[in-house]
């Protein structure tokens, strides 16, 4: 990893999140830097998805604070971050291009990727006319990521992005995420497939019962041929 100082994209300070009397997050503090990938690990119920949703602004912290880098001039509200949850959030009856044209309308007047460019950035042909409902899971995940990339977010929050993917599609997604990280974005992802995602990670964050119990630097592997698979 580079020894240069990176810009802080987002920071959580002593963040807790309660659901009734149950604590999903307990005093989590972490800083996320540009050009870094953070692999968030933990058992089911450890708080990983809740942490991503708090970072995305979908949940308010019960205690503590969440700070994001100031948006660039002309950016849409919330466009500095992109969140991809378990649901693809796509219209199955529409093509990939039709989906992205629809979502691009939400960012009209802001500096965003053209739908064609967003699809090409994830390795998909904008000319494909079949509906997204006919796509493989790997292709659907890539269309969902293209949707997230439209506003050119500095922070990508990805909850189980390799879910139900075959090995080839997962490698393609890894290669894409590596390029996004190397372009200066901060990437935070959760997965139960640690061995698959480990080569991408700059830091491994481990959660137990809502607490962030460790942050460990993960040196880049010497061989990264998988990056060229897309």
- Tokens at residue 153, please? 């977010």
Q: What does the block give as tokens for 206?
A: 């481990």
Nearest C-alpha neighbor of 184 from the set 1, 2, 4, 6: 6
The domain ranges of the chain are: 1-69+155-230, 90-153
38: nearest Cα among 220, 213, 173, 203: 203
pLDDT in the model for residue 2: 43
**pTM, full prediction:** 0.86
Tokens encoding 86: 């378990």
Q: How far apart are CA 101 and CA 118, in angstroms?
A: 10
**Tokens 């990508």 sit on residue:** 156
- Pairwise CA distance, residues 155 & 31, whole Å: 12
CATH architecture for segment(s) 1-69+155-230:
3-Layer(aba) Sandwich (3.40)
10-residue mean pLDDT series, the chain (230 residues): 69 96 96 95 94 95 92 66 90 96 84 90 91 91 92 92 82 88 94 87 96 87 40
Cβ-Cβ contacts under 8 Å for 202 (sequence gap 6 or more): 1, 36, 37, 38, 181, 217, 218, 220
């Amino acid at each position: 990893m580079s020894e240069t100082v990176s810009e802080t994209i987002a920071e959580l300070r002593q963040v807790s999140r309660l659901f009734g009397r149950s604590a999903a997050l307990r005093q989590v503090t972490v800083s996320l830097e540009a050009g870094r990938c953070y692999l968030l690990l933990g058992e089911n119920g450890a708080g990983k998805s809740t942490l991503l949703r708090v970072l995305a602004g979908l949940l308010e912290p019960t205690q503590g604070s969440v700070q994001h880098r100031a948006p660039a001039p002309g950016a849409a509200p919330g466009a500095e971050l992109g969140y991809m949850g378990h649901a693809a959030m796509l219209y199955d009856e529409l093509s990939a291009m039709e989906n992205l044209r629809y979502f691009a309308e939400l960012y009209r007047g802001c500096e965003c990727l053209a739908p064609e460019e967003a699809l090409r950035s994830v390795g998909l042909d904008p000319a494909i006319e079949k509906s997204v409902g006919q796509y493989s899971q790997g292709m659907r995940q890539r269309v969902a990521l293209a949707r997230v990339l439209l506003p050119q977010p500095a922070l990508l929050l990805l909850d189980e992005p390799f879910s139900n993917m075959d090995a080839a599609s997962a490698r393609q997604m890894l290669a894409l995420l590596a390029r996004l990280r190397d372009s200066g974005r901060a990437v935070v992802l959760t997965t139960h497939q640690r061995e698959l995602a480990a080569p991408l990670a700059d830091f491994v964050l481990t959660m137990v019962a809502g607490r962030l119990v460790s942050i460990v630097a993960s040196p880049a592997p010497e061989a990264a041929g998988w990056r060229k698979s897309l």
